[in-house]
Amino acid sequence: MNMPENMDECLYFSRRANEFGQATAWVEKEECPECHKAKMGKPTDKGKVKIRAKEYVCPACGHEEEKTTYEPTLTVNVNYTCSCGHKGEAQTPYKRKKFQGTDAYLFECSSCNQKIPITKKMANLKKKKKKA
């Protein structure tokens, strides 16, 4: 997997480090299914991207797709270093799952099978309580 050259190629980009290891994750924009000339993105208004838009638009032909149908087709690409020292690449669906009480993109180390989360910026994982 090649890292994107420019942030304009990405819908999502993140670098995270925690007790599970460190990871760089990105989601590339998909090509327009109608014209195949440009990449789908959020709509713009006077040069500014609408952050909370509910649809994705092709800048070339104007084709629109709802967020709920477009996002499930995307994948998160990850370059990671696990806490076991293994360096690798992984892909996971562009859908956050619960991990220790926090929403995260989740994938496994291909060497030790440890689950590695990519959480939102300020999210804290909940510690498991020990039974007495």
pLDDT in tens, 43-86: 888 878 888 889 999 888 888 999 888 888 899 999 999 888 88
Q: Does residue 110 lie within any of the structural domains?
A: yes
Q: Does residue 36 lie within any of the structural domains?
A: no
Separation CA 118–CA 128 (nearest Å): 18
Q: What is the pLDDT of residue 129?
A: 60
Q: At 47, phi and psi to the nearest 5?
A: 85, -5
Q: Does residue 88 lie within any of the structural domains?
A: yes
Q: Does residue 64 lie within any of the structural domains?
A: no
Q: Does residue 8 lie within any of the structural domains?
A: no
Q: Does residue 131 lie within any of the structural domains?
A: no
Q: Does residue 107 lie within any of the structural domains?
A: yes
Q: Does residue 6 lie within any of the structural domains?
A: no
Instruction: Give how many domains the chain has, as a whole number.
Output: 1
88: tokens are: 């690798």
Residue with tokens 């499930």: 72
Helix ranges, the chain (H): 67-70
